[in-house]
Amino acid sequence: MKVGVLDYGVGNLGSVLRAVEALNVSPVLVDRAVDIHLNDCLILPGVGNFIDCARLLAQGGWMDALRQEVLGYDRPLLGVCVGMQLLADVGLEGAGPDDPQGTPGLGFIPGQVEHLSTLGCALRLPHVGWNGIMNTTPRDGLFAGIPDGTDFYFVHSYGFVAKDPADVLATADYGGPVTAAVRRGHVWGTQFHPEKSSRAGSRLLRNFLSGPQC
């Protein structure tokens, strides 16, 4: 199995690669969009902000290549943190009077990405630290062996608001419900960082990589 970790210019790539290697899988760092098709499944990492990430994806031809491979050829994809947020139609990070429309994302999972404070969170932001997942969709392979209440490492200020609640796989509570994981078909995303969530994160990555999709 070839696991491609997309290197489009941002992200804590070292951590993601190591977490995959710890599962005895050799990941490939994919630094050209034209090489996406060489991989059986894809991990889209992301730290940073939505606008920069979306711009880098567009500049490098990643947007089109991902749409072709993921939508056209059903290549499985796991987005992590901003990588998950990029699965949405639009990110409102940086949106304001000058740019009320926000920034287009990949559009794989309908929804938009908004600041947690506009979603009603009155607590300190960013939401940093270990938080328990809840309302996990039963029997989704991504959470096999991972019970509700398991803590994962979150660090973000924006949240994914899915148009269809059925696309939300799990939530966490931080001054209100926060989308913790999404799925539509063979596209998954986690707001938390499995690569930094110790044994629970390792189990989740193993679930993704050993699922029938990969």
Partner 1 sequence: MLKVRVIPTLLWKSFGLVKGVGFDSWRRVGPVLPAIKVYNQREVDELVLVDILAHGTGDDPDFESVNDFGQDCFVPLTVGGGITNLAQVQRLLRAGADKVSVNTAAYENPGLITEIAMKFGAQCAVASIDARAQPDGGWLCFSHAGQTPTGREVADWARELEDRGAGEILITSIKRDGTMEGYDLALIERVAGAVRIPVIASGGAGSYGHMVCAVQQAGASAVAAASMFHFTEQTPAGAKAALAAAGIPVRKPYQPDRDA
| Of the residues 169, 196, 209, 213, which one makes contact with partner 1 according to CB under 8 A | 196
For residues 22 and 119, give the distance between their C-alpha atoms in angstroms, rounded to a whole number: 36
Contact call for residue 200 and partner 1 (CB under 8 A): yes
Neighbouring CB atoms inside 10 A of 63's CB total: 20
13 near partner 1, judged by CB under 8 A:
yes
Number of residues that bind partner 1 (CB under 8 A): 47
- When asked if residue 120 is in the footprint of partner 1 (CB under 8 A), the reply is no
Beta strands in 45-83 (DSSP E): 77-80
d(CA 127, CA 143): 22
Strands (E), the chain: 3-6, 27-30, 41-44, 77-80, 90-91, 103-104, 111-115, 127-132, 151-156, 158-162, 168-173, 177-184, 187-190
> Any catalytic annotation for residue 41?
no
201 contributes a contact to partner 1 by CB under 8 A = yes
| Alpha carbons 21 and 179: distance in angstroms, whole number | 27
Q: Is 140 in the site for partner 1 (CB under 8 A)?
A: no
Catalytic residue check, 127 = no
Q: Binding segment for partner 1 among 69-77, 141-149, 161-169, 183-191 (CB under 8 A)?
A: 141-149
Under the criterion CB under 8 A, does residue 198 sit at the interface with partner 1? yes
Q: Is 214 a catalytic residue?
A: no
Identified catalytic residue from 81, 127, 156, 214: 81
Binding mask 70-89 for partner 1 (x = CB under 8 A): ------------x-------
Stretch that binds partner 1, among 62-70, 96-104, 153-161, 182-190 (CB under 8 A): 153-161
State the catalytic residues.
Answer: 81, 193, 195
